[in-house]
Structure 1
Amino acid sequence: MTTPTARPLPQKTIGVLGGMSNQATAEYYRLLNDGLNARFGGWDNGEIVIVSVNFGNIEHFVRRNEWDAAHRYLSGKVDALERAGADVILCVSNTMHRVVEPIMEGCATPFIHIADPTGAAMRTAGLSRVALLGTMPTMLSEDLRRRYAERFGVEIMVPSDADKATVDRIIFDELVRRDLRPESKARYLEIIDRLAADGAQGVILGCTEIFLLVDQADRPDVPMFNTTALHAAAAVAFALGD
């Protein structure tokens, strides 16, 4: 694409509620800028505002089910993004949509829910029964299950209790620190294989760090939906007015 000559280049400012974790946030920043540069070319990239929270606070709230405290904490961070001029807001954590979605219902700034680009991709692929991997709250979320079913016609499967515990442990103890272990990758792939054998037509990588460990190349016959990449692509489209 030829770089436009009119300056400043028209685009919307993307607000990123980040730090959950810093690994996911760094990937969002890369994807957003790469996506916008692919359209603009030259030296252009995104206009992005990031408010990066302390993940230690998030881990504390999630582990102890302190969702009201999480709501209060993140409300102030959303306010900061709005004051900084964000035209649209993303939350980089599937898990924390539990509190960010209701916060955003009271805001004028548009919000791209992380499940919606993934749901649209699954619907386009013609899938109706898909497994969800993520943190324990994500895998147990009835709100997410309803959203995928009612908006996109997709039934959500989750791993067994033992496998859910494994998926959650690896996320919190390893992936958020970018501690990538071959044995953990093998465990994830075993879980994916079991879900596929039980009828899953695909798998949602429903934590924004899982892409660090497994990707489509690991199981070419099982469609994988990377919520991180799909969410970022939706934000790029919004910023461009697509």
Structure 2
Amino acid sequence: MLSVYKVLHFSGKHEFNQLVDYLARGVNNFEKSGADFAALTGITPHVVFDQLQAKVNLPLVSIPVALCDYAKEQHHERLALLGTAPTMSQHFVQDAFKNSGIIITVPQKSEQAYIGEKSKTN
């Protein structure tokens, strides 16, 4: 079982190699149990999505890509991105929207710190 607290710890400290290794162990356990694919059910671990996909055999479902597809279907032109500090400060969500014509806005740095702190669960 994977812990969101470990994911937030590794992400918050920018320990991305450790995050990939941690998530890969979990995905590999799913594969051993017979899973055909895996999904990261939080957006924050997507900060290492490409590195993780390269390290595991199971295909992974990308929330940012699925979100972009949905936003295009709904004809959205601009979305606000709120979340953990790593989600707002990194560009992995915006990268999924790069060629979509949809604008992703994030709060200013000071607002990101406030929102990121409020998104933590102790």
1 CA distance for matches of 2:93 and 2:105? 11
1:134-213 matches, within 5 Å, as: 134-150=83-99, 152-173=100-121
Give me the CA root mean square deviation.
1.8
2:15 aligned with 1:66: yes
Q: Are the equivalent residues in 1 in contact too, given 2:20–2:52 (CA < 8 A)?
A: yes
Aligned residues: 122
Q: Is the 8 A contact 1:104 1:111 kept in 2?
A: yes
Kindly state the Cα deviation for residue 123 of structure 1 after the two structures are TM-superposed.
Answer: 0.7
Per-residue deviation, residues 135-172 of structure 1 (Å, max 9, x unmatched): 1111122232121122x321211112222112111110
The 3-state SS of whatever aligns with 1:126 is: coil
Paired with 2:62 and 2:96, the residues of 1 have a C-alpha distance of 10
AA aligned to 2:117 is R
C-alpha distance in structure 2 between counterparts of 1:70 and 1:90, whole Å: 15
For residues 153 and 106 of structure 1, the distance between their equivalents in structure 2, rounded to whole angstroms, comes to: 31
User: In the TM superposition, what whole-angstrom CA distance separates every residue of 1:78-98 from its partner, at most 9, and x where no partner exists?
Assistant: 111111111111011211112
Q: Is the 8 A contact 2:49 2:62 kept in 1?
A: no
Cα distance change on mapping 1:80 and 1:166 into 2, 3 Å: same
Give the TM-score normalised by the residue count of structure 2: 0.86
Structure 1 portions without partners, runs of 5+: 1-51, 178-242
Question: Which 4+ runs in 1 deviate beyond 6 A?
Answer: none
**1:55 lines up with 2:4 in the alignment:** yes
* Matching residue of 2:36: 87
- Going from structure 1 to structure 2, the CA distance change for 1:107 and 1:69 (only over 3 Å counts) comes to closer
Cα 1:136–1:87 change in 2 (3 A) is same
Which residue does 1:109 correspond to in 2? 58
Give 1 or 2 for the bigger CA radius of gyration: 1
Take 1:108 and 1:76, find their aligned partners in 2: how far apart are those partners?
12
Please list every run of 5 or more consecutive structure 2 residues that lacks an aligned counterpart in the other structure: none
CA 1:75–1:133 in 2, change beyond 3 Å: closer, same or farther? same
Residue aligned with 2:104, SS? strand
For 1:59 and 1:71, how far apart are their aligned partners in 2? 12
Q: Work out which of the residue numbers 72, 75, 81 in structure 2 matches 1:132.
A: 81
> Per the alignment, in what secondary structure is the counterpart of residue 146 of structure 1?
helix
Identity value in percent = 24
When residues 110 and 56 of structure 1 are mapped into structure 2, their CA distance, relative to the original with a 3 A threshold, is closer
